[in-house]
Chains A and B, each alone.
Chain A
């Protein structure tokens, strides 16, 4: 399946798709999107790269095993849920920074939770696909 066209295209597509997935992640609070879909898109970007350039090249590109994203994401989601406890609010209460920040918009603990979901989804998908592709 390694064609020169796909290979060349994937080199440009990977950053664009990743950027797009982050865009989907960030817009999730107002418009269709969110951490889950964003994570899936990011994994598709990597899978596409792997198809075009071979799995080992993608692995060198990522540098670390994608499985490590799972605990990082889980920890991030958990901590964003724990954060309200510091203000004597129940677990998972949404905290919001009072003023909107340029480019990102208003910032709240839900965003970090969503980023956690995003990371876990990338980690899970890539771990499963890479493992299966490796062993078969």
Chain B
């Protein structure tokens, strides 16, 4: 299974080297990867539907309980099949959609990276691993949204999406850590067993809020929804794949996965119901005020995600069944509508619903796909959409409390979604074909094939729900700890309230479709209240934050090294001095000190002379040289106190430092007295107080009892365990080898930094 997950990463790595080959026509070969994976996951259906789960475990960082544990159960199987299945169609579609794009290979690289990350996300059983893959999906989404990186709008949307989903990622990490420490494990499977303890713990609310933070940002719930419409700047295959079918459902997945662990609590259920219902109604109303096809679809996607959150919040067996069905429904029809929109955009170069008409004459297969998807989204029988809607109504009717309110809200949402589906899937194809579109080229089969497959699947599953009932849907509910054994998916439920609600939805929705037409006037109406939208409020916060940080930068990062040094010193003196003032006892035991020897006096005298020389000399080179003298004097002190390793290192470092200084200073103009007396006195006071603080600190440290345990351990084991007699070196290369490795990495980074700063300066002509 690890290979199945890593395949996408490996492929994107391969593209780095062989990208040229995948540009243009051969790009379609890459669609083989999701296809193979789809086949791979299909073979697990019998085992999963029989109630089994498949577990693969690889240890990663066992000492922290972080393992690559992958579990395939009903829930992850459904998502895996969606990711690879829709992934395959999107890969194929992309081959035609971005046929002549310069960076098609990069696109495939990001796309397969995303696919792998998403698979990892839904298959991980370990919270930390899940977090890693979660972040990877955010990052690949960032690259894909900003794919047209020459467009500033794209870049802005990409950053907004990354900021919002990244924020959610942090929240997920925090949630995972708290959950792990409360539940005693990072394994979701084990956490399910301790769900009672978790619910009883005082941290339950905190955990739930953190998990909500992750899920709501990723799944674009109110008030974090606004990154999703912005993300529509991405090429349409991306919108189809990431921002409607899979990635935005990662939040839904997380909530479903966490339902057995955190669910069935008052706080969990009511928060989800409230946030979900606000989102679904808010976004559904927004679809009325859009004329851009992708904008309409974006808001209807948010609304659909809201419905899912609402259903998960209900938490009953019927609601979870409805959610599982609705995930399939939505993936099928929304992906189709996006692909259809993409084709229209690709062929006519327009996405404006107010001018698109009669396109069935030039692209009949696309029109069929659009029509089928629209009726599925409307929930008209015999589509699977009808099933999804019936189940939603049914579970909402069974809600305790105020079902009337919820029914009203869900009814409004469904009606508006029907309207949105009709506008996006039907209205561009009916009516009179305007002259300007008469010469529209017919799309190829690579373009219209994928949406046809998806939309026909929506009908087939609707007519024969048995295909997916036992194999896909019920295992999902079972994975969430509920048993949906006695429920059956069927089109005909008899004359009951649910049916009347369905009829009402379809009738009112259709009437609405004929009365409210998308127009510029409606778009203007909504821009008038834009200033109170969450987006404007949050971007207001952002600009405030930007102002604050530039103010901060102007004060503290002013580019003068001397100011940096004095700022650092002032803070050190202040903080350390404060602590020392409160805790130090300023007593010294002179009796334990060893006697002062003659050569120590000599060295210290040299040191003092050198210090004064540095401060008062008028020649720069002389100052550097006497700094070198100070360094060497300190080396001698190290030698006296038997630290030959330190002395050697200090000696070499000092030599090199002096050389560096000389190299730089040799070319500088003559020494000038730049600072006046006041600054000099200020700096002198600063330096003296810093020196005194450090001295006091060292004396205090010496007064503390020394714990010899660690040094004794090293001294005893250096030869036994590491075959070395030089303890210092053994610590460096063996006991603390990882530290050394980090340190040399940092050194290398510093050197690259210096090289970059000095060598890669812009040429005069390139400078602005």
Contact = CB atoms under 8 A, between A and B. Distances in A.
Interface in B584-637: none
B562 interface: no
A73 B744 CA distance: 9
A92 B659 contact: no
Given A33-B726, A94-B721, A132 B645 contact: no
B744 A121 contact: yes
Interface string A99-136: 00000001010100110110011011101110111111
Given A29-B725, A31-B725, A37 B652 contact: yes
Nearest to B746: A124
B723 A106 contact: yes
A131 B726 contact: no
Interface string B629-662: 0000000000000001100110011011001100
Contacts of B724: 29-30, 110
A52 interface: no
Given A113-B741, A121-B747, A129-B656, 6 more contacts: A29-B726, A30-B726, A31-B726, A44-B656, A70-B751, A132-B758
17 contacts: A29-B724, A32-B644, A33-B729, A34-B645, A40-B656, A44-B655, A47-B656, A67-B755, A71-B748, A92-B738, A94-B734, A110-B733, A117-B732, A121-B747, A127-B751, A132-B663, A132-B664
A124 B751 contact: yes
B535 to A, nearest CB: 45
Interface stretch (A4-12, A56-64, A74-82): A74-82
Interface in A34-69: 34-37, 40-41, 43-44, 47, 67
Given A28-B729, A123-B748, A108 B655 contact: no
A40 B653 CA distance: 7
Nearest to A114: B733
Interface of A: 24, 28-37, 40-41, 43-44, 47, 67, 70-71, 73-74, 77-78, 81, 91-92, 94, 96, 106, 108, 110, 113-114, 116-117, 120-121, 123-125, 127-129, 131-136
Say whether chain B's binding surface is mostly helix, strand, loop, or mixed: helix
A120 B722 contact: no
B660 A132 contact: yes
B25 to A, nearest CB: 37
Chain B, interface size: which category? Answer: 35 or more
Contacts of A77: 740-741, 744
Contacts of A123: 748, 751
A94 to B, nearest CB: 5
Given A47-B656, A74-B748, A131-B755, A32 B740 contact: no
Nearest to A66: B751
B745 interface: yes
Interface in B663-709: 663-664, 667
Contact of A36 (B730, B732, B759): B732
B768 to A, nearest CB: 21
Contact of A127 (B667, B725, B726, B755): B755
A131 B754 contact: yes
Query: Which 3 interchain pairs have the tightest Cβ spacing?
Result: A40-B652, A32-B644, A124-B751
Nearest to B718: A29
Contacts of B659: 47, 129
Contact of B733 (A35, A47, A67, A132): A35
Contacts of B750: 124, 128
B737 interface: yes
A116 B751 CA distance: 16
Contacts of B652: 37, 40-41, 44
Contact of B726 (A34, A94, A121): A34
Contacts of B738: 81, 91-92
B648 A32 contact: yes
A31 B718 CA distance: 13
Contacts of A128: 660, 750-751, 754-755
A135 to B, nearest CB: 4
